[in-house]
């Protein structure tokens, strides 16, 4: 008990990093999970990590202002770990947005219970598949493992002047990867719908008396759903590979942390 009281400041810093990750990471940040459950998970994981981290003997500042700076550093590291994975889920929603605009579903939006934002039906469908793939590869375990690994390479009081530059570099790489993943998922449906649009345009020139606009909307929707049904295994594979690469990138980033 005396050991815990003596290192209580370290315990709070570990909890700040864990709480920050839970606030932004997929699955953990969902409002479907009650706040008390999130707080309990954060406390229990911190309780497990605390003896390992505190055993390294950190020298914490005695004043409040330097300690607040440490809290900001811990929060930034936790947010960044969760952000790297949440960007992939933003790519899933973005791919659904690409498809929804092409088939005329862009105006039909629903509330996403995970991100608490309005997304098209296609985006919600892709997001739910992504959550299932995330749980299938034990992504929630890998996020907690990432927090543990972060204390090996980015411990308390380790940030220096190179921290901001390296952080921006990793964020740029994550954002660029988001658009690549979104295009990989949406490209088959978008390409097929584009060919349908070209065919309908040619048909409108050949038979101008036909109402191509009224014929085209249900035809594009039906074709896109058929294509989506056929390529669903491919979408699941792309999501799985994307999430695995995101976690691999996260661990690689932690190994080269600019601290």
Per-residue pLDDT, averaged over 123-141, amounts to 85
Does 104 have pLDDT greater than 80?
no
* Digit-coded pLDDT (tens) for 138-169: 888 888 888 888 777 665 545 555 555 666 67
| Residue (of 147, 113, 87, 109) closest to 30 by Cα position | 113
Name the DSSP letter for residue 220.
H
Start-to-end CA distance of the chain, whole Å, equals: 32
In angstroms, rounded to a whole number, what is the distance separating the alpha carbons of residues 88 and 222? Answer: 28
In angstroms, rounded to a whole number, what is the distance separating the alpha carbons of residues 211 and 89? Answer: 39
**Per-chain mean pLDDT for the chain:** 78
**φ, ψ dihedrals at 110, nearest 5°:** -130, 165
* Digit-coded pLDDT (tens) for 202-244: 877 777 777 777 777 778 888 888 888 888 889 899 889 888 8
The two tokens of residue 211 are 């109402």
| Per-residue pLDDT, 42 | 87
Q: How confident is the model at residue 85 (pLDDT cuts 50, 70, 90)?
A: confident
10 Å Cβ neighbour count for 46?
A: 20
Does 132 have pLDDT greater than 80?
yes
| Per-residue pLDDT, 3 | 58
In angstroms, rounded to a whole number, what is the distance separating the alpha carbons of residues 74 and 60? Answer: 13
Burial 184-198 (b: 16+ CB within 10 A, else e): bbbebbbebbeebee
* Digit-coded pLDDT (tens) for 18-57: 888 888 888 888 777 888 888 888 888 888 888 877 777 6
Does 84 have pLDDT greater than 70?
yes
Per-residue pLDDT, averaged over 101-118, amounts to 62
The two tokens of residue 250 are 């996260």
| 70 and 16 Cβ atoms separated by less than 8 Å | no
Residue with tokens 């505190």: 54
For the chain, what are the domain ranges?
2-255
pTM confidence score? 0.77
Per-residue pLDDT, averaged over 105-131, amounts to 69
The residue with greater pLDDT, 160 or 100, is: 100
Report CA torsion sign: 246, 13, 113, 102: negative
| Residue (of 234, 204, 228, 231) closest to 216 by Cα position | 204
| Residue (of 2, 195, 167, 183) closest to 79 by Cα position | 167
């Amino acid at each position: 008990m005396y050991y815990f009281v003596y290192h209580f400041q370290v315990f709070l810093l570990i909890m700040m990093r864990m709480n920050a990750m839970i606030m932004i990471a997929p699955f953990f940040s969902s409002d479907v999970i009650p706040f008390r459950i999130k707080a309990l998970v954060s406390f229990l994981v911190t309780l497990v990590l605390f003896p390992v981290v505190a055993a390294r003997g950190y020298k914490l500042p005695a004043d409040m202002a330097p300690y607040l700076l440490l809290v900001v550093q811990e929060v930034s590291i936790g947010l960044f770990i969760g952000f790297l994975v949440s960007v992939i889920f933003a790519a899933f929603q973005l791919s659904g947005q690409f498809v929804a605009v092409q088939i005329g579903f862009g105006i039909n939006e629903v509330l996403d219970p995970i991100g608490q934002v309005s997304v098209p039906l296609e985006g919600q469908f892709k997001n739910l598949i992504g959550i299932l793939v995330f749980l299938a590869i034990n992504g929630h375990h890998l996020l907690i493992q990432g927090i543990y690994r972060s204390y090996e390479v980015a411990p308390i009081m380790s940030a220096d002047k190179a921290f901001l530059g390296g952080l921006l570099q990793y964020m740029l790489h994550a954002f660029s990867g988001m658009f690549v993943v979104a295009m990989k998922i949406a490209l088959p449906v978008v390409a097929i719908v584009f060919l349908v649009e070209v065919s309908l345009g040619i048909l409108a020139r050949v038979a101008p008396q036909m109402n191509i606009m009224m014929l085209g909307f249900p035809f594009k929707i039906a074709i896109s759903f058929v294509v989506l049904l056929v390529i669903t295994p491919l979408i699941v594979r792309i999501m799985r590979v994307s999430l695995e690469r995101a976690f691999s990138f996260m661990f690689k980033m932690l190994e080269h942390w600019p601290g």
